[in-house]
């Protein structure tokens, strides 16, 4: 068997050896989990389709985002297999598989974030207030940043791309939670007023 490729500039000389036994199997299992979780998420969406159509911007974008997040796991898994390296430092290897992982994951998060917006609130609109202007600006900024990942990767390198990907994923997560909380708050207020 060939030795794993250790091209880790992040960890330097302290590169941890490839995990073995249970830990290696757990890491491989965790990379397969997105495929299973997509089936569960798709089932949940179809079970609550009528409710979601009334509450969120786009059920279609929600499904596209969920599927893209699973698709993102494929090139990452392939990169691990290609380099025969299952430790955390493999991310520093120059690989187009990592770029595909970044692109699909960011596109998936963008689609999910946009889909969770309030139903009937168009993406292209005149803002109705200060908070609406901020969320509109952030929505478009995240779309542009997500689309710019391959440009940043090819122009400025992987290190800058990792910063961009981390920032967009962090922003998507917080914005999505905000949309969910806002949507649930409106529903709670309606239920209490009945």
pLDDT values of the chain reduced to their tens digit, one per residue, 194 residues: 444 444 444 455 555 667 778 888 888 888 888 888 888 988 989 998 898 888 888 999 999 999 998 888 888 888 777 766 776 555 555 667 778 888 888 888 888 888 888 888 888 888 888 888 888 888 888 888 888 888 888 888 877 888 888 888 777 777 766 666 666 555 444 444 44
Alpha carbon distance 28, 80 (integer Å): 9
Q: What number of residues does the chain have?
A: 194
Hey, where are the domains in the chain? 19-193
Alpha carbon distance 52, 166 (integer Å): 29
Q: Does an H or E element contain 63, and which?
A: helix 59-83
Q: What is the pLDDT of residue 184?
A: 59
Tell me, yes or no, if the pTM score tops 0.85.
no
């Amino acid at each position: 068997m060939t030795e794993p490729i250790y091209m880790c500039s992040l960890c330097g000389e302290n590169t941890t050896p490839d995990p073995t036994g249970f830990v290696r199997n757990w890491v491989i299992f965790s990379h397969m989990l997105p495929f299973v979780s997509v089936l569960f998420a798709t089932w949940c969406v179809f079970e609550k389709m009528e409710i979601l159509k009334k509450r969120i911007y786009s059920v279609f974008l929600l499904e596209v985002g969920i599927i893209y997040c699973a698709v993102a796991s494929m090139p990452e898994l392939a990169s691990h297999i290609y380099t025969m390296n299952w430790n955390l430092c493999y991310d520093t290897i120059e690989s187009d598989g990592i770029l595909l992982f970044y692109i699909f994951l960011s596109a998936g998060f963008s689609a999910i974030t946009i889909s969770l917006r309030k139903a009937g609130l168009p993406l292209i609109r005149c803002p109705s207030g200060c908070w609406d202007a901020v969320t509109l600006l952030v929505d478009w900024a995240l779309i542009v940043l997500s689309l710019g990942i391959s440009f940043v990767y090819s122009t400025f390198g992987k290190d800058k791309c990792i910063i961009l990907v981390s920032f967009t994923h962090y922003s998507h997560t917080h914005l999505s939670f905000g949309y969910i909380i806002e949507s649930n708050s409106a529903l709670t207020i309606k239920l209490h007023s009945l």
